[in-house]
C-alpha cells in the first residue's frame, strides 16, 4: 500500500494540509494561527527568524481550506478539520442489532486505542499493543503523508433490531447508543521495496464475536488495500490465537512461515504464525 502522492497548488495549501494531518484535527482558527506567511508577501511562507509573519486574511484562508475540502484532502466535522479518506459507510445486521462499518474519524481515536488494548489484554494478540501505542503516540488516527499511509475502519453498533431508523432520530439520539465494537487497521510502508505490501490487524470486542463482524471488517480492509494498489497484505499472530487464525484461514489467507518460540504469552513461549494474502 504505497504512500499517497500528494499534490497541492501552493506551499500554503501544503502547510495547511500537513498541519491538520499531523495533529489529527484542528479548528480553522488553530490552523490559521500556525500557518503564517511573510507580512511583505502573504502568498509566500515566512522565513523563520528573518521576517515577521502574519496570519492570512480570513477570506483568503477560508478560500484555501474550502479548496482543500473540494479536492478531497480535508473534511470538516463539528467545526474541526481532519484528514478523512473518501470511503462510504456500510450498514450490516446481526440477529440482535445493526452495525455500521465506516472509516474511523479522529474523534474515534481514544475509543479505538482502548478497544485494541482490551483485546490485547486477553493475551492472544501481541502486535496490536504496538498499534495502540502508535495511535496514541502519533496524535492522529489516520495518516496520509509522503512517508506513511495508515487507514482504520471501525464497526459501530447503531441500534437493536426493530429500533426506529437512525434517519428518524436527531443527531444526539443517533450517537447516544452507538458503540465501537471492532476495528481493522492497515499500514503501508515508505520503503520502495515494500510499497506493494500492507500490514493488517483486525479485532472485535469479546462480547460481540461470533456474529460475522470480524469477517466484515477484514473484507472491508482488504477492499481498501486493493483500491490502493496493494499486492500483498500480511499479519503475524501468536499460534495460540485460534480464533484469528481460523478467521484468516476462512477468508483465503495462507500460512507463509512459523517462527518458533517467538512470543511469550502468559509466561509460555509461543510460536509466531506469519499469514498473508495476495490481491493480484
* pLDDT at residue number 102: 96
Please determine whether the domains at 11-82 and 90-278 fall in the same fold group of CATH.
no
Cα-flanking dihedrals φ and ψ of residue 3, to 5°? -65, 150
Which range is most confident: 19-33, 84-98, 115-129, 178-192?
19-33
- Among 28-42, 108-122, 248-262, which is the least confidently predicted range? 28-42
Domain residue ranges of the chain, discontinuous segments joined by +: 11-82, 90-278
Q: Which residues are CB-contacts of 255 (< 8 A; sequence separation ≥ 6)?
A: 273, 274, 275
Please name the CATH architecture into which domain 90-278 falls. Answer: 3-Layer(aba) Sandwich (3.40)
* pLDDT at residue number 123: 64
- CB-CB neighbours of 81 under 10 Å: 27
* pLDDT at residue number 132: 85
* pLDDT at residue number 167: 47
Contact by Cβ (8 Å): 247, 125: no
Please name the CATH architecture into which domain 11-82 falls. Answer: Orthogonal Bundle (1.10)
- CB-CB neighbours of 109 under 10 Å: 20
* pLDDT at residue number 148: 81
Instruction: Kindly report, residue by residue over 13-43, the tens digit of the pLDDT.
Output: 999 999 999 999 999 999 999 999 886 554 5
- What confidence tier does 169 reach under pLDDT thresholds 50, 70, 90? very low
- Among 111-115, 124-128, 142-146, 203-207, which is the least confidently predicted range? 124-128
Nearest CA-CA partner of 150 in 158, 161, 139, 160? 139
Contact by Cβ (8 Å): 220, 181: no
Task: Give the DSSP letter string of 130-166.
Answer: HHHHHHHHHS-SSEESSS-EEEEEEEEEEEETTSPPG
Nearest CA-CA partner of 184 in 212, 227, 155? 155
Spatial separation of the C-alpha atoms in residues 90 and 124, rounded to whole Å: 29
* pLDDT at residue number 40: 56
Task: Give the DSSP letter string of 35-74.
Answer: SEEESS-TTSBPPTTTS-EEEPPHHHHHHHHHHHHHTTS-
Q: Any idea which residue has 474550502 for its cell?
A: 66
* pLDDT > 90: percent of the chain: 62
Amino acid at each position: 500500500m504505497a504512500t499517497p502522492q500528494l499534490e497541492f497548488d501552493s506551499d500554503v495549501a501544503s502547510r495547511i494540509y500537513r498541519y491538520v494531518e499531523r495533529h489529527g484535527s484542528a479548528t480553522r482558527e488553530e490552523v490559521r494561527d500556525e500557518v503564517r506567511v511573510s507580512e511583505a508577501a502573504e502568498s509566500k511562507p515566512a522565513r523563520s527568524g528573518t521576517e515577521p509573519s502574519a496570519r492570512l486574511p480570513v477570506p483568503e484562508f477560508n478560500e484555501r481550506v474550502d479548496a482543500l475540502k473540494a479536492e478531497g484532502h480535508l473534511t470538516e466535522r463539528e467545526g474541526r478539520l481532519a484528514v478523512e479518506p473518501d470511503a462510504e459507510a456500510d450498514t450490516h445486521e446481526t440477529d440482535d442489532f445493526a452495525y455500521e462499518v465506516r472509516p474511523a474519524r479522529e474523534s474515534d481515536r481514544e475509543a479505538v486505542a482502548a478497544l485494541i488494548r482490551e483485546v490485547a489484554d486477553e493475551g492472544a494478540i501481541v502486535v496490536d499493543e504496538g498499534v495502540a501505542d502508535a495511535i496514541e503516540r502519533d496524535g492522529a488516527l489516520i495518516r496520509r503523508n509522503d512517508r506513511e499511509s495508515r487507514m482504520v475502519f471501525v464497526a459501530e453498533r447503531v441500534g437493536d433490531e426493530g429500533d426506529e431508523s437512525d434517519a428518524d432520530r436527531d443527531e444526539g439520539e443517533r450517537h447516544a447508543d452507538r458503540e465501537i465494537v471492532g476495528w481493522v487497521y492497515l499500514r503501508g510502508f515508505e520503503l520502495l521495496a515494500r510499497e506493494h505490501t500492507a500490514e493488517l490487524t483486525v479485532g472485535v470486542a469479546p462480547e460481540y464475536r461470533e456474529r460475522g463482524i470480524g469477517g466484515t471488517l477484514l473484507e472491508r480492509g482488504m477492499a481498501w488495500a486493493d483500491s490502493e494498489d496493494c499486492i500483498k497484505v500480511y499479519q503475524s499472530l501468536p499460534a495460540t490465537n485460534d480464533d484469528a487464525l481460523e478467521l484468516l484461514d476462512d477468508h483465503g489467507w495462507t500460512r507463509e512461515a512459523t517462527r518458533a518460540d517467538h512470543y511469550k504469552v502468559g509466561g509460555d513461549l509461543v510460536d509466531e504464525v506469519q499469514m498473508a494474502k495476495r490481491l493480484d
